[in-house]
Structure 1
Amino acid sequence: MDTTPAAVAGAAAFTWFGMVLAISFLEAPLKFRAPGVTVPLGLGIGRLVFRALNIAEAVLALVVVVAVATGSPTTPVGVLTGVVVVLLAVQLGAVRPVLNRRSDRVLAGEDAPRSRAHLAYIALELLKTAALVALGASALATV
């Protein structure tokens, strides 16, 4: 892969990885342990934070795709780029709407049952973080 696009793709992948770690695996679970944070309050905060994270992820995905498309990528870099983009698309297009409907019900005062969609989102986050590390390392290996 060409040097500059590889460096950009690697930097974007690792930045994206760090953001997902910070929000999904630190902020999200910890906010519910803070004193005075109720489930509705935590859900409201979480929706705002994850909306911002997902926008940042979409921008970083676009940066990675453009860098990879312009940089004569190796097969692993091309495949891993596709994997992270598909994982993000599934999260945003299939899982987040289900989670948003449940949080709407909770915020409206309903007693909504726990959702398996949350577990799906976490599983996708784990897969995405692994793919982002592999993508970043693969891209930077060509620099």
Structure 2
Amino acid sequence: MDAASAVTAAVAFVWLGMVLAISFLEAPLKFRAPGVTLSLGLGIGRLVFRALNRVEMLLAVAVAVTVVADDAPAAVTVAGAVTLTVLAVQLLLVRPGLNRRSDRVLAGEDLPRSRAHLVYIAAEVIKVVALSILGIRALMT
């Protein structure tokens, strides 16, 4: 395994761990904590996901650079492309709507459950699969 493949695998698994810990552990659990109101949970969530997404953008650049620099095999390239595409969809298409909705909820509106939230969760599941494949395939090169 060359250095670029090792870096790709490391970045993929760090990124995977962050998504699993924040999206599938912290996010749902914070609303179950005693004293955490919807407004407080939304405020915390926005802060945490803004930070996660900034780190994800840096990790995405690292993946893109290492995959291109390594002239990676097709499976690595495809998994990396899927991961980056899913992140772009989340940041450019889904998050803005979720932010507008949370602004309305924080302003006191009582809104029904959001489909955009389910789309974001589905995208996170796809990203978890793509990152897993990316890391495993990069280790295999």
* TM bin (shorter chain): over 0.9
Paired residue total? 141
Cα drift, residue 112 of structure 1: 2.1
How is 1:1-143 mapped onto 2 (pairs within 5 angstroms)? 3-142=2-141
Structure 1 unmatched runs, 5+? none
Cα deviation per residue 1:91-143 (whole Å; 9 max; x = unaligned)?
0001101110110001111112221000000000001000000000001111x
SS in 2 for 1:135: helix
- Percent of matched pairs sharing the same residue: 64
Q: Distance in 1 between matches of 2:33 and 2:79?
A: 37
How far 1:11 moved relative to its partner? 0.3
Q: Where does the alignment leave 5 or more consecutive residues of structure 2 unmatched?
A: none
Q: Name the aligned partner's letter for residue 38 of structure 1.
A: T
Runs (4+) of structure 1 moved beyond 2 Å? Answer: none
C-alpha separation between the residues in 2 aligned to 1:107 and 1:4? 47
State the TM-score, normalized to the length of structure 2: 0.98
Root-mean-square deviation (CA, aligned residues, Å) is 0.8
Find the aligned partners of 2:75 and 2:34 in 1 and give their Cα distance.
45
- Give the TM-score normalised by structure 1: 0.97
Q: 2:97 & 2:114 partners in 1: Cα distance? A: 8
Distance (Å, rounded) in 2 between the aligned partners of 1:60 and 1:23:
16
